[in-house]
Amino acid sequence: MMFPLVRNALSTLRIRRIQQIRQSHSKHSPDFHDKYGDILLASGASFCLVTWVFLVTQIGIQWGRSPVGRVTPQEWNEE
C-alpha cells in the first residue's frame, strides 16, 4: 500500500527536477525587475539618505544633550 505512494512521489520529484533543469537552461526575457530593479533600489536608498541628512541638519535637533552632571537635586521638604 505504501509502495505506490512512494513511487508516485519520487516520479513527481523527478519530473519537477527535469522541468527546473529545462527552465534554467532556457533564456528568459528580462522582466521589470531585471530592467529597473537596480535603479529603483539606488533611488530609494538615495531618497532615504537625503531625507535623513535633511532631518539631521535642518530641523534643529540638539544631539547629545544629557542632563547628567548639570541638574542638581533640590532639598526635600517634609511638611
For 4-59, CATH number out of 1.10.10.350, 3.40.50.620, 4.10.51.10, 3.90.420.10 equals: 4.10.51.10
Nearest C-alpha neighbor of 42 from the set 30, 54, 50: 50
Nearest C-alpha neighbor of 46 from the set 36, 58, 35, 38: 38
Quickly state the pLDDT bin for 40 (edges 50, 70, 90).
very high
Is the per-residue pLDDT at 9 higher than 90?
A: no
Mean pLDDT for the chain overall? 80
Nearest C-alpha neighbor of 15 from the set 23, 26, 5: 23
Give 19 or 37, the one with higher predicted confidence.
37
Is the per-residue pLDDT at 63 higher than 60?
A: yes
State residue 24's pLDDT score.
66
Is the per-residue pLDDT at 4 higher than 90?
A: no
Domain edges within the chain:
4-59
